[in-house]
Amino acid sequence: MPPSPIPTEPRKQPRQARSRATVEALLEATAQVLVAHDYKGSTTARIAERAGVSIGSLYQYFPNLESLVAALVDRHAQGLLKVMDRALEGDEAASLKDGLRALIHAGLDMQRLDPALHRVLMEQLPNVDRLRRARDTSRRLTGLIEAFLCRHASQLAAGREPALAAVVVETSLEAVAHRAVSDYPSAPEQQRLQDELYDLLLNYLTGPSIG
Amino acid sequence: MPPSPIPTEPRKQPRQARSRATVEALLEATAQVLVAHDYKGSTTARIAERAGVSIGSLYQYFPNLESLVAALVDRHAQGLLKVMDRALEGDEAASLKDGLRALIHAGLDMQRLDPALHRVLMEQLPNVDRLRRARDTSRRLTGLIEAFLCRHASQLAAGREPALAAVVVETSLEAVAHRAVSDYPSAPEQQRLQDELYDLLLNYLTGPSIG
DNA sequence: AAATTATGCGAGTGTTTCCTCATATTTCCC
DNA sequence: GGGAAATATGAGGAAACACTCGCATAATTT
């Protein structure tokens, strides 16, 4: 049985400044409650209370709880893509090595945008139908990396296909960065893991392709 | 506010064969319902029904829903460790390269044990207080890898510290294996990603350490 | 300043869910 | 076979929850 198609479209657009603030407060409150109570403990009442807004107001802009989370996911994904895009399109990505540095830095920044929220969203993402859009985000991220690799194809190891390598790079980058940020909070530790990440990715991209 | 300490200890031990079957059916049903409905839609009633058991019986052995999930997490973690342990302790891990092959194979097998369940458990893990035990699993896995690396320390690149490298290897192995199994279902695709994973890890461990 | 539109409110409704408990059935053991 | 212990049952109490609706207040327009 496929999960029932829960509508996640916003109910009505806020037109005045007052209501825009309400919506903003609701989104912020959703993030906070989600972090504090996880998805199952996040109730509409709690969110409204945290936002300093009545339940009724919540339901004026969001048809249900899921739509709130979906909106949050969208916003967060937007932020992630922006971070990565800036890192790879700028001048810092002129060489493969510099680009890799920037890439890793961006990967860590993405985790640091709002680590706790990031975590909950990633966990709860499958519940929200907006999963597809999140996959999109992941794919677009991989796309950005692939384009970057193609730009430096000459420096890649023979037999290293950019499309496949981009998947590997994106996946391991995200995982190690996530672990670094959430399990190794101290700055020196994070720095060491960052260096390891550089070794990992550079040796993979330029080292021998054994198969 | 820390999440309220929900008891996850089993309520009473089944003594007769009949009740052991009941408990087993409940765990199996929990897994199925979890996969079919996600955590939020998994109710005790549904689980009992699926198990062909009355609600009352469920509560004789499990004090609440969380404890069911916790038991499942424990059992799954046990399975994961066994897979990895077998791969690294056997004769196949005689050389670094062979061991790496076995390691990667085990990583994929871990994902394949029960991919759908694995996924839901990983997602919902933070909700269950048993999170700590899961971290334990991750750490013990890292420990197994570290021991393996130490056994082949002579073949590692200069400056590659086993403890740190084990974290990197475990993290990226799990992530890429996960992605391979869940996003690339076809066998040839998985094979290619498996080969890439080998390149990734071997080049990292034996390639130059640039920092 | 009146009319209109937008926003805010929160008690209340109907549903869902967790979990208990009194009772019935099965198994064990002497 | 009979008494005790283990196991199974499911109706129902209590609480939590999502969401509505009628009305109050504020902003905007004319």
Burial zone of B158 (CB within 10 Å; 0-12 exposed, 13-18 middle, 19+ buried)? exposed
- B interface mutation test: which of A196, A197, A202 has the most B CBs within 10 A? A196
Directed axis angle between helix B115-124 and helix B162-183, to 10°?
Answer: 120
Do residues B14 and B22 make contact, with C-beta atoms less than 8 angstroms apart?
A: yes
Which stretches within A38-161 are classed as H helix?
44-51, 55-61, 65-89, 96-112, 115-124, 131-151
Say which of A164, A174, A198 has its CB closest to residue B196: A164
pLDDT-based confidence at residue B2 (cuts at 50, 70, 90): very low
pLDDT of residue B116: 87
pLDDT of residue B82: 95
pLDDT tens digits, B91-149 = 878 899 999 999 999 999 999 999 889 888 877 776 666 567 777 899 999 999 999 99
pLDDT-based confidence at residue A4 (cuts at 50, 70, 90): very low
Is the overall model pTM greater than 0.85, yes or no?
yes
Distance A55 CA to C10 C1' (A): 7
pLDDT-based confidence at residue B4 (cuts at 50, 70, 90): very low
Say which of B127, B193, B207 has its CB closest to residue A38: B127
Cα separation of A124 and A55, whole Å?
A: 23
CB-CB neighbours of A56 under 10 Å: 8
Instruction: Say yes or no to pLDDT of B77 above 50.
Output: yes
Q: Do B211 and A202 touch (CB under 8 A)?
A: no
User: What is the identity of the amino acid at A4?
Assistant: S
pLDDT over 70 for what percent of chain A? 91
Half-sphere exposure of B55 (CA within 13 A, CB side): 6
pLDDT tens digits, A12-30 = 899 999 999 999 999 999 9
pLDDT-based confidence at residue A130 (cuts at 50, 70, 90): low
Do residues B49 and B60 make contact, with C-beta atoms less than 8 angstroms apart?
A: no
Cα separation of A39 and A41, whole Å?
A: 5
Nucleotides of D under 7 A from a protein CB: 6-12, 16-22, 26-28
Average pLDDT over residues A55-82: 94
Both tokens assigned to B158:
């200069």
Nearest by Cα to B210 from A207, A54, A138 = A207
pLDDT tens digits, B169-197 = 999 999 999 999 989 999 999 999 999 99
Contacts of A192 in chain B (CB under 8 A): 164
CB-CB neighbours of B69 under 10 Å: 26
Do residues A193 and A111 make contact, with C-beta atoms less than 8 angstroms apart?
A: no
pLDDT of residue A90: 84
Distance A40 CA to C16 C1' (A): 14
pLDDT over 70 for what percent of chain B? 92
Mean pLDDT for chain B overall: 91
Distance from CA of B86 to the nearest CA of A (A): 24
Average pLDDT over residues A131-136: 74
3-state secondary structure of A42: coil
Average pLDDT over residues A86-107: 93
Average pLDDT over residues A165-186: 95
Hits for CB < 7 Å against strand D across B residues 169-198 = none
Contacts of A64 in chain B (CB under 8 A): none
User: What is the identity of the amino acid at B146?
Assistant: E
pLDDT-based confidence at residue A93 (cuts at 50, 70, 90): confident
A202 alpha-carbon distance from chain centroid: 23
Mean pLDDT for chain A overall: 90
Contacts of B164 in chain A (CB under 8 A): 192-193, 196
